[in-house]
């Protein structure tokens, strides 16, 4: 239920785990998530009031439905700084590293004009990222949507 927020947090450089990594339909999902938050010293973000209550200081109830107000709520709580860092894969959370020339060439969606771009690579997803218009658009969206 917070998948888009998770992607934004990864673009902002935060180590973000998703409940999607837990087997769907597991009746102990809430307990598993709370255990992970405690064990790994993570903050559990949830839209589930009961889960937030059970999590106490390790959980934050996210009230807004849309992503920018969700980010604003985390900014207001002092949990995040709304800045695009491009250090983590938006899909799997793996840390990105500088892309090699052969990795850039093997990806069909890489821009032909490469001057001025910094290219990053996810070794897990084999996905190429670069600091182009998409990153600028995300940064602008954050600037406009966050006070």
- How high is the pLDDT of residue 145? 87
- For residue 1, the model assigns a pLDDT of 77
Distances in Å between the Cα of 53 and the Cα atoms of 5, 30, 57 are 20, 11, 9
The domain spans of the chain are 1-84
pLDDT tens, residue by residue, 119-136 = 999 999 999 999 888 889
Q: Taking the model in full, what pTM does it have?
A: 0.90
What is the side-by-side strand order in the sheet with 119-122?
A: 97-98, 119-122, 127-130
Q: What is the pLDDT of residues 26-67, one digit of tens each?
A: 678 899 999 999 999 999 999 999 999 999 999 999 999 999
């Amino acid at each position: 239920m917070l998948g888009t927020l998770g992607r934004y947090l990864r673009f902002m450089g935060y180590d973000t785990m998703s409940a999607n990594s837990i087997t769907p339909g597991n009746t102990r999902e809430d307990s598993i998530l709370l255990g992970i938050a405690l064990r790994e010293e993570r903050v559990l973000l949830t839209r589930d009031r009961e889960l937030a209550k059970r999590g106490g200081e390790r959980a934050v109830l996210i009230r807004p439905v849309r992503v920018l107000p969700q980010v604003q709520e985390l900014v207001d709580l002092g949990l995040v700084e709304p800045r695009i860092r491009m250090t983590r894969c938006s899909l799997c959370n793996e840390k990105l590293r500088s892309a090699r020339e052969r990795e850039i060439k093997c990806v069909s969606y890489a821009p032909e004009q490469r001057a001025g771009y910094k290219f990053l690579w996810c070794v897990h997803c084999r996905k190429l990222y670069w600091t182009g218009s998409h990153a600028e658009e995300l940064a602008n969206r954050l600037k406009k949507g966050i006070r």
